[in-house]
Structure formats: structure tokens, C-alpha cells
Chain A
Amino acid sequence: DSGVTQTPKHLITATGQRVTLRCSPRSGDLSVYWYQQSLDQGLQFLIQYYNGEERAKGNILERFSAQQFPDLHSELNLSSLELGDSALYFCASSVGVTSGYPYNEQFFGPGTRLTVL
């Protein structure tokens, strides 16, 4: 158990709909990252938040948005869903000091499997 929790585990919805994925980081971790894993693909970085602020952005679609709340949990909002959005969505967290550290290990949650029909 990594200490990172994600809800829901599975989500089935229809095209055009909007969903919210939730992530609670490990206790004490300030950074939250979102990744998408489509079929036969590696994990694609979407976005990073550090202590409530956006810190880095990857190939995140404009239909997707995220935020990190004062209690440090994060939500990923996916709207106007398309069939191609079906994927595993992982959240990871780390201590997340943004500079001066050689590396902060990222701990991954179990993922949310999104199926768009």
C-alpha cells in the first residue's frame, strides 16, 4: 500500500459526459501528479500541483482540468468525454520540494479505470 488513495476504482460513463477523479496523497506529501495510461501506452504525464499551485503541465487536453485543495487532496475533471479518453488515470504524490532536492520519489495510487461508451 503506497498510502495514495484514488476514488473511484472504476468509472463507466457515456460520451459527452463529465467526471471527477479524486486523489488523496500520502500524509505529508505536498505534490500531486496526474498521469494517463492508455492501452499499450506508457504513463503520460498530465499535470503537477504543489501545495495548491500548478507546477508543471504535460500533454493535458483543454477539456481536462485539475486542482489541489487546501487539505492537499486533488481532483481531475474530465469533460466532454470522448471514446479515446478511456484509460487508466493514476495519481502520484511526493514530498515535492520543487528545487534543491536531487529527487523526490513519486508514490502511485492504484488508479481509476475510466471507460467511455
Chain B
Amino acid sequence: DQQVKQNSPSLSVQEGRISILNCDYTNSMFDYFLWYKKYPAEGPTFLISISSIKDKNEDGRFTVFLNKSAKHLSLHIVPSQPGDSAVYFCAARSRSESNAGGTSYGKLTFGQGTILTVHP
């Protein structure tokens, strides 16, 4: 059961244009959403996040939009640069009950990733 889906395996964009990466989710209990960027031979790097109580968060060239009613989020990169070429993962946080009691907010559920290629 894929609770977080990135339906586009790849996206190709011209330098200077907008890149839009999409993500859909099914679990209404997700309370925080994140985008991670991954270069080959490296671990994912946190890019930007948004709480479920907001619908937009902006950080420089990166903006994340959340549509809770549609269970959809998107990452906009404007303007796109060749250095942005990487795999982008959408992730969502859920609450977990720990075996020892109490709760953990650590578990992240990731999408399959979208390969973004920005051409000069």
C-alpha cells in the first residue's frame, strides 16, 4: 500500500523555467510533509517542509504547496538551474506509538522519487 505516491518518474526542464514536482498521499493522519533531494552516491538532503496546517511555504527558489482536500502537494522550483538536477523525494510524517509507551514523530513515509533533469 503506497501511501505516498510520486506518479512522474522523471521530469525534464529547461534552465530558467519552472519545475513542478507532484506528490499525492492517502493517509489523513500525515501531519508534516517534506521534500528531500538526492544526488547519486549521497544520502537524501532535506530541502523544504510544510505543516498540515499551512497551504504554502516558501524558501528562496523553492515553494511547497499543500492541498489537503485533494491530498496533494507540489514543489515548485523557480528558476530551475542545472545544479537542481537530482532525484526528489516527497515524504510525509506520521505519528507512531512506541513499544515503550509515548509517541514518536520520527517515521517518514517516502514516495518513489522523481528524477529532475534541468538542461542548460
A-B contact count (CB 8 A): 93
Give the shortest distance, in Å, between A82 (CB) and chain B (any CB): 22
CA distance A107 to B44 in the complex (A): 8
A94–B104 alpha-carbon span in the complex (Å) = 12
Residue B41 is within 8 A (CB to CB) of chain A in the complex = yes
Across the interface, A103 reaches (CB within 8 A) one of B45, B89, B93, B100, namely B93
Known A-B contacts A40-B112, A41-B112, A43-B89; A99 and B103 likewise in contact (beta carbons under 8 Å)? yes
* A34 smallest CB distance to B (angstroms): 11
A-side contacts of B96, CB under 8 Å: 48, 55-57
With an 8 Å Cβ cutoff, the count of chain A residues facing the other chain is 36
Judge if B98 is at the interface, Cβ distance under 8 Å: yes
Please, which residues of chain B bring their CB within 8 A of the CB of A99? 102-103, 105
Residue numbers in A under 8 Å from B21 (CB-CB): none
**Contact with B104, one of A55, A90, A102 (Cβ below 8 angstroms):** A55
Query: Do A106 and B102 contact each other (CB < 8 Å), given the known contacts A2-B43, A43-B89, A55-B96?
Result: no
Flag if A2 contacts B45 (CB, 8 Å).
yes
Chain A residue at minimum C-beta to C-beta distance from B5: A42
Q: 0/1 per residue, A15-40, Cβ < 8 Å to B? A: 00000000000000001010100001
- Tell me the residues in window 82-120 of chain B with beta carbons closer than 8 Å to chain A beta carbons: 89, 91, 93, 96, 98-100, 102-113
B43 with A56: CB separation less than 8 A: no
The residue of chain B having its C-beta at the shortest distance from the C-beta of A97 within the complex is B105
Q: Using an 8 Å CB-CB cutoff, how does the interface string of A63-93 with B read, 1 for contact, 0 for none?
A: 0000000000000000000000000001010
Excluding A31-B106, A106-B108, 14 further A-B contacts by CB distance (< 8 Å) are A2-B43, A42-B110, A45-B107, A48-B104, A55-B106, A56-B98, A56-B104, A56-B106, A90-B44, A92-B43, A98-B103, A98-B106, A99-B103, A103-B51
Residues of chain A touching chain B, judged by Cβ–Cβ distance below 8 Å, are: 2, 4, 31, 33, 35, 40-45, 48, 50, 53-58, 90, 92, 94, 96, 98-99, 101-111
6 A-B contacts (beta carbon < 8 Å): A45-B108, A54-B100, A92-B43, A105-B49, A107-B46, A108-B44
